[in-house]
Structure 1
Amino acid sequence: MTQTPSRNSYDVVIVGGAIMGSSVAWFLTEEAGFDGRILVVERDTSYQACSTAHTNSCIRQQFSDPLNVRISQFTAEFIKNLRERMGRDERVPNLSIQNYGYLYLADNEAFAETLRANRDVQVVTGAETRLLTPDEIAAEYPFYDLDGIVMGSINTKDEGYWDGGTLFEWFRRSARSRGVEYVANEVVAMTRSADGTRVDSVTLASGEVISCGTVVNATGPRAARTAAMAGLSIPVEPRKRFTWIFTAERPLDRELPLTIDPSGVHVRQDGPASYLAGSKGFTDPAVDPDDFSMDPNIWQEVVWPAIATRIPQFEAIRVVTEWAGHYAYNTLDQNAVLGPHPEVENFMFINGFSGHGLQQSPAMGRGLAEWITHGSYRSLDMTPFHYDRIARNAPMLEKAVI
């Protein structure tokens, strides 16, 4: 991939080429009203250090906000029809969802009531969420120790694991084949217009100054740094999340749902004979976006005890691999920030997904492409995610945060 752009002016400059930036780029090529030139600037073209590469690649409809439910439903439809969406290109694989579902476990009546209220929203929006008593959980999944559990919530339609890496690859490959230009470079500065209402240009690490009609912040955990180049702020910071893949001496006799334990640890099926566990650390501070170090004490003191208590067959397990990744964590409300800045009108956010980014990338990329092209949304109304709620300190509360 070249380092130097072929032009000194583009209609859209997208800062960050992982799944969010590539989704926006691809959906712009789908918009009949858009015929501009697009530049994607990516600092790490190996993508080894991006959030996309460290995702656990799950999808769920069990949100408390109906818009978040609809976003996941669009993703499910999109990935199950990926080849058709990509112009029936025979090289595009057929994707599916491994529908083992998410199982939320409540150990108190207050959280059980939250699950009931969430389920009502989800069902009205078209999800197939079921509430389970402890006896019903035991009948379907007899391997759990349900001591202290008062209720569960599960949906096994379009909820579970899918191949997010393949979607990212084809967003990027297809966008490039349609004329989107990607460069291996880094945006290091932005220049605003004299009246401050627009970003006129971006400066690359290699020295080029590139004029832009619109600039898109798609830099994941680095979102605040990118916004600061334009003199803007956004409450998004890198938060570490840890993942372990393990095998069990006595594997379960059926697929393990993504189980959200009251301890905060989650565990799910990962392959035919392997499992995945995830957790945050002992504390949850902001970290450097280049910090991917592991802490073995988290596994020994928190994760393994939690999953062995909940699933006694996991008393004897062996870790196969492990890694740390980053949530682009929105400290206001753990929901996305999408769309234009209210004062710097051509600066676009697609940030702050707080762990939901991969599963929301198709709808978010489509929505932002619509806004850039038309100045409005033509499919889902994404205005609740706009930046003005940040300025008003008005959280968009989501009760089903993991």
Structure 2
Amino acid sequence: MRGPLARLARSSRLSRFARPRRRLPRRTVRLRLTLLYGALFLLCGAGALAVTYVLVRHSVAPEGDVTLLRAPGDRGLPGGPALPFDVGAEQVVARAEAALAEQRRDVLRQLVVQSGTALAMLVVLVLALSWWVAGRVLRRLSTITATAREISATNLHRRLALAGPDDELKELGDTFDELLGRLEASFEAQRRFVANASHELRTPLARQRAIGQVALDDPDATVASLRAAHERVLAAGEQQERLIEAMLTLVRGHAGIDVRHPFDLGEVVTGVVEARRTPDVALRTAIGPCPVSGHRALAERLVVNLVDNAIRHNAPGGWVEVRCGSGALTVANTGPVVPADEVGRIFQPFQRLGRARTGHGLGLGLSIVRAIATAHGARVTAAPREGGGLVVEVVFG
């Protein structure tokens, strides 16, 4: 019996010591501001009380060796009290001076006590007022916190729209609203990209399925017809590969560049242009040294997309002009007329303008260009040419 009882007693002692400690109240900004204001007021009040005490003590204390009362026959103060000759004058003077000294000490003691009491009451009042003022000041911060907790990916359209004076809290609220705007635009672009990508991938898959189904349902299929169907399926698969590779490049461009290396953009442009000379479109070049910093492979893909886009969307017997130098790359071409208000659309994924620009490519060329340029800290601008065509300029920082 002793063993179980001992274990029970030991477990009770351990459980008593293992009880969780009571958590202290959370030190909020409002509480810290209140304590800070109270501490500052207490220090200032204590300093003022000390200065007042020194001044009062100096004002009521006798200066130098001045004696307030003198014995009869001494040259005392004008109008001083006259003492009778039959009383011990020295004793009376000593008692009077002792009484005055005790009165001075009592005045100073009352000054300290009453001033300390008043200071303590004022500290309590200041703490209450500081708590109220801090709450008023931080009310907008509480609004920001509550709204941030409620906002999710489904209601990014909400905004704080803080009112009040143009102070740091309003600046914080405006910055948060700007962040919500960028997040909303990013989420919306992601949704559009996913919807467009699923549509673009569904088309070659449906084509492959239709080609295979027709070939299997043909009772008179021959080796030649099956080979032709297989070649068409391979072509659709190649289109899917190019689309997936383009989307991966677009995502990689949006991800940014971790490590930058210097390279000559002019050499990259020269290699791309020489590999794409064709008798159908005249290529004009003005390429010089162009040192930049970034990811050479991604920059080469940027140049390839710009040149291919200019060659693909061109007019019969047209031309493409490529200029590179001083940190800037410009590609201009002839081709169909591009409305000025529609230029921004061609940088969006899977966006094509009109029939003249439909059916060629994947609709990701200029989107990849902008993503890679943004990753390099470069600026991309596009402007339509008079008579048709487009001028795209990429300026590296």
Which is greater in Rg?
2
Please, what TM-score do these two structures have when normalized by structure 2? Answer: 0.21
Task: Kindly indicate whether structure 1 or structure 2 has the higher relative contact order, using CA contacts under 8 Å at least 6 residues apart.
Answer: 1
- TM-score w.r.t. the length of structure 1 is 0.21
